[in-house]
Amino acid sequence: SKEQGRNRYAFYTDALNQSISRRLQIEGYLRGAIERGELMLHYQPQYDVSSQRVTGVEALLRWNSPELGQVGPDEFIPIAEQSGLILPIGRFVLQTALAAAKRWIELDPDFKLAVNISPAQFRDESLVSFLQEELAKHQYPASRLELEITEGILMRGGTQVEETLAALHEMGVCLSMDDFGTGYSSLSYLRKYPVDELKIDRSFVNEMTVDESDRELVNAAISLSRGLGLRVVAEGVETAEQLQALKELECGVVQGFWLSEPVPQEHIGKMLERQARL
């Protein structure tokens, strides 16, 4: 009836208003969150499959808002991306992570720090000079830094992106394709751009022990990396069975809750100290 239609309409606009006001709240409180000390980084270790040693970490943002509580990066990063707030936040992430990782490469010279870079950050003209300054300031070797980007950045391309890629390559900074396999591009960008690593998306890893086609896709990604001479990381390893399956496929590096959740900075230092003594 007409009445029902009106109710349904009211229901949808209500839900829409709620999600808009949540967005606006997040954007509002996120502004100034760095200055108020509400943002911090956790680090998730990555492990060499055969030796089980920690080879590096991925930096992951955490936001504890006094007003909103813990807000996950899956929710606030897209909002930061659209509002431009990702630029100061991204600089905060790089500065903080490099300062921490400076200590870690002293414990293990082969240690690698991985940092997520969103499309807006990658298109920012000042990214390269900012990175150069920060690497110099922390005396951190460029080759021990890896930027995780998604294939959308490479697909869209453009002069700015090409220049940034060339400059990063020149500097010796590594590039990792995050969420590999979830896009729908041709693989030609792997030939065109200086990618160093593929990170197999956790949706494939998740199902690989129960779904034969997911296992085959993981296998294909590992073979592809081998063929192209790239590093390969499987993310989202949650069970012993998945780890075993990845071992059998000779995956290089693994990351996931089964091995370790993202942890505060101090934990990483302790892990590496223990490892250095072995």
Give min distance, CB of 208 to Ca ion, in A: 16
- Residue 50's contacts (CB-CB under 8 Å, 6 or more residues apart) are 247
Task: Please enumerate in sequence order all residues whose Cβ is within 8 A of that of 219, keeping only pairs 6 or more positions apart, or say none.
Answer: 249
Assigned token pair, 38: 């509400």
* By the rule CB under 5 A, 81 interacts with Ca ion: no
For residue 168, which amino acid is it? Answer: L
| Separation between Cα atoms, residue 168 and residue 50, nearest integer Å | 30
Question: Closer CB to ligand C2E, residue 121 or residue 219?
Answer: 121
Query: Residue 120 half-sphere exposure, CB side, CA atoms within 13 Å?
Result: 15
Contact between 183 and ligand C2E by CB under 6 A: the answer reads: no
Would you say 77 or 154 has its CB closer to ligand C2E?
77
Judge whether 89 and 39 are in contact, CB under 8 Å.
Answer: yes
Minimum distance of ligand C2E from residue 183's CB (angstroms):
13
CA distance from start to end of the chain:
74
Bridge partners of residue 112, in order along the sequence: 56
In this chain, which of 179, 196, 214, 238 binds Ca ion, going by CB under 5 A?
179
Q: Which amino acid type is present at position 211? A: D
Binding mask 98-137 for Ca ion (x = CB under 5 A): ------------------x---------------------
Exactly one of 38, 151, 178, 197 binds ligand C2E (CB under 6 A); that residue is 178
Lay out the site mask for ligand C2E across 4-43 (x = CB under 6 A, - = otherwise): ----------------------------------------
In the DSSP assignment, the letter for residue 40 is E
Least separation in angstroms between residue 75's CB and Ca ion is: 13
Q: How many other CB atoms are there within 10 angstroms of residue 277's CB atom?
A: 7
Token pair, residue 113, equals 């720090």
Distances (CA, A) of 213 to 48, 84, 150, 256: 25, 39, 23, 21
Question: Judged by CB under 6 A, does residue 149 bind ligand C2E?
Answer: no
- Interface mask toward ligand C2E for 94-133; x: CB under 6 A: ----------------------xxx---------------
262 binds, among ligand C2E, Ca ion, none (CB under 5 to 8 A by kind): ligand C2E
Binding interface with ligand C2E (CB under 6 A): 44, 59-61, 72-74, 77, 93, 116-118, 148, 178-179, 202, 236-238, 256-257, 262
